Amino acid sequence: MKFATDITADIKKQQGRKQVQRQIASVQSSTVNAIGDISATISTISEIATAIASAGEEQSAVTAEMSSNMRVAAAGVPAISRSMGTIARSMTDIDMAARKVRESSRSIA
């Protein structure tokens, strides 16, 4: 009977070892899958960060261009103002000349 008990004990030990091995293999497989998922998430985050950085650079370039355009426009304002003054003076001169022509034509008539 002792021999049968030893064999039964050995079988139970082997079954226990196999069960532990299966559990270890399962944990290893789950770990590999989790590492793959984490790696994919990190890759996605990296892509998003790159897109954000690119958008920031584009926004910076647009802002710089707008600023440059505003400086050019601001520099043109005094010239426009001077031109408007010249136009106003010319209109006054034209009005005076038209009055003189009208007065002259009345005196001739």
How does pLDDT run across 59-86, given as a tens digit for each residue? 999 999 999 999 999 999 999 999 999 9
Please indicate, yes or no, whether the overall pTM of this predicted structure exceeds 0.85: no
Q: What integer pLDDT is reported at residue 4 of this predicted model?
A: 65
- How confident is residue 108, by pLDDT bands cut at 50, 70 and 90? confident
pLDDT band, residue 25 (cuts 50/70/90): very high
* 97 pLDDT higher than 90: yes
pLDDT for res 15: 87
b/e string for 60-71 if b means 16 or more Cβ within 10 A? eeeeeeeeeeee
DSSP characters over 16-48: HHHHHHHHHHHHHHHHHHHHHHHHHHHHHHHHH
What is residue 6's predicted lDDT score, i.e. its pLDDT?
A: 74
